[in-house]
Structure 1
């Protein structure tokens, strides 16, 4: 198992088209790192660069302290699990899992031991003599993972491995991958997904990619509770964080912001803002919106759309009438709330959960 170090890594096509630049990242042995970001942000490209399937056009990649920029993929100690299972249809599960070891001319005893161990970890013991066509999608993906485990690589790379599964199988297989990591605590894993639920539930740390670089790196809760910029604030969490325009009217231990609609927001965390009148955005997650009858409220408007989901009710409002460019405001309330469409509701929020951004970046001390 291994540490990885990426220093100023870049990817350019044709010498003119930058896909990634200034990627600096330290990955420690035993971590499960998840790359997330919007489509086209370069997360799969970065994974393929680590695997050696894409050439690194700038910077360095080290695995266990060894520079591997020009090392062929087969010699990097990497095992990759793709979105497609890529199993040999005419081979049994046992033969699929052992194929790479046979090519490496391992002894039959070594092969049998490695396959048995992987099958036990992945609960595939009873399927070893079946063909892939006799397996479910989730079982086939487990075989693809097992094919990687038997090689005992330094680093496991997962490229959106659950994308081809239906919703129920995605949940079940995601849990299986989490259990797999628990059973292999020393294993270093890098996982690419566009699904933030996978990222939040699997990751030791999340790397959010955007604008050809890294927007933020942190634990799932660090990104959720203290995003460093508006992009991360709105990318992590569903529905996205609400952003409301305003200006700072008081600083100190508690920062006070007057919103464009006339309401006032308080932040319990001291910020770097020292200038009164500074134009800012207030960030409040839909699930942190609290119904209130008080005249001291954060936001108020007429309900436009109601999504009654049973466990939660999602309420949509039209954007506030102002020059500030903002998205529809959403409140996410626990339980069932009947007959509220068309009504005007007031909301407040816990000051400890209010975010403040200026020019797209958080004003919180770090």
Structure 2
């Protein structure tokens, strides 16, 4: 439906700077997800795109047209909010038709648009009900339907599932994914604090931190090749383990010695002679750690706590070998493992699963 470009965008409230140097090129048909910690500015950025917040500096364009000074109603954007914001005295049909009636559309145009949206969202049987007769997930679908009937250039979603319980979040997330499949040319921007939503819905994820963009990439790119320790720990659950170490062998394969004599391990991240002896953080995701009896290992410790989840068993270790950011190492073993609490366990990881960060930046991106 539309290309959207943010160039050198800045947002300040008086002397307080919130966002800096936001540069982003969103292509037609993408579903872009903004994620980041609370207060990082992801909802503020969405509201600037919508025209609900003024851009302090920089430019926003849609299909090549500058939008900085264009009123929200004229930007060709529809927004779905965290709260459903439905009119309680109107039926589902009337709620979905309201914006079109205000725009002066004919009855036939309105009926056609509402019926088509209701069919996409499986709301046809509920068109004559009031919002109070619907579940939370159905109400959110009505809010999405209200956006669809307007046929906007860009859809904006501001944490639309956060008011739903866990089961409804999963069901509605699947429905949004199916909706995107039915509307492949629609450009959508979605804000969430839930990384599962981000990983399962996004064409690309934009991770926001420290008043700017920390990394942009496909979900698997961010998971497999995080640019920084921040992204490495923000994407993935449980968070990536960061272990203090140093480089003791360089080349296409880097040899790492973990602090406090924890062990020695290799990584496929290349290093140079200049890196020899450098203090680094060695990153290994909990799900990539496996028990070993071999001489090379990343970590050895006594299991403090186990969580038996059926499909996986999570082991928690408290260790002085962990980085300054955490004193816990977590291993996520496939299947059921009984009787490990209080036991000594030695763990390793394949070289292609061992990340190396120097001064907080991945060696892969130097």
TM-score normalised according to structure 1 size? 0.98
Paired with 1:107 and 1:42, the residues of 2 have a C-alpha distance of 40
Partner of 1:36: 35
**2:346 paired with 1:346:** yes
Aligned residue runs from structure 1 range 274-353, under 5 A = 274-320=274-320, 326-353=326-353
Partner of 2:229: 230
* Count of residues in correspondence between the two structures: 365
Can you give the 5+ residue segments of structure 1 that lack an aligned partner in the other structure?
none
Q: Which runs of 4+ in 1 moved over 4 A?
A: 321-325
Partner of 1:245: 244
Paired with 2:154 and 2:80, the residues of 1 have a C-alpha distance of 11
Paired with 1:118 and 1:176, the residues of 2 have a C-alpha distance of 13
**2:113 paired with 1:117:** no
Instruction: Report if the CA contact (8 A) 1:122-1:142 is conserved.
Output: yes
Instruction: Report if the CA contact (8 A) 1:249-1:276 is conserved.
Output: yes
Can you give the 5+ residue segments of structure 2 that lack an aligned partner in the other structure?
none
Once the two structures are TM-superposed, the CA of residue 365 in structure 1 deviates from its matched residue by: 4.5
TM-score normalised according to structure 2 size? 0.98
Once the two structures are TM-superposed, the CA of residue 115 in structure 1 deviates from its matched residue by: 0.4
Partner of 2:13: 13
Partner of 1:134: 133
Between 200-209 and 330-339, the greater mean CA deviation after superposition? 330-339
Partner of 2:44: 45
Partner of 1:80: 79
Aligned residue runs from structure 1 range 188-203, under 5 A = 188-203=187-202
Between 322-331 and 90-99, the greater mean CA deviation after superposition? 322-331
Give CA deviations for 1:164-188 in whole Å, capped at 9, x if unaligned.
Answer: 0000000000000000000000000
Give CA deviations for 1:246-269 in whole Å, capped at 9, x if unaligned.
Answer: 111111121111111321121123
Instruction: Report if the CA contact (8 A) 1:272-1:363 is conserved.
Output: no
RMSD: 1.2
Partner of 2:356: 356
The 1:207–1:272 alpha-carbon spacing in structure 2 relative to 1, beyond 3 Å, is farther
Once the two structures are TM-superposed, the CA of residue 325 in structure 1 deviates from its matched residue by: 5.3
Instruction: Report if the CA contact (8 A) 2:250-2:272 is conserved.
Output: no
Instruction: Report if the CA contact (8 A) 2:246-2:279 is conserved.
Output: yes
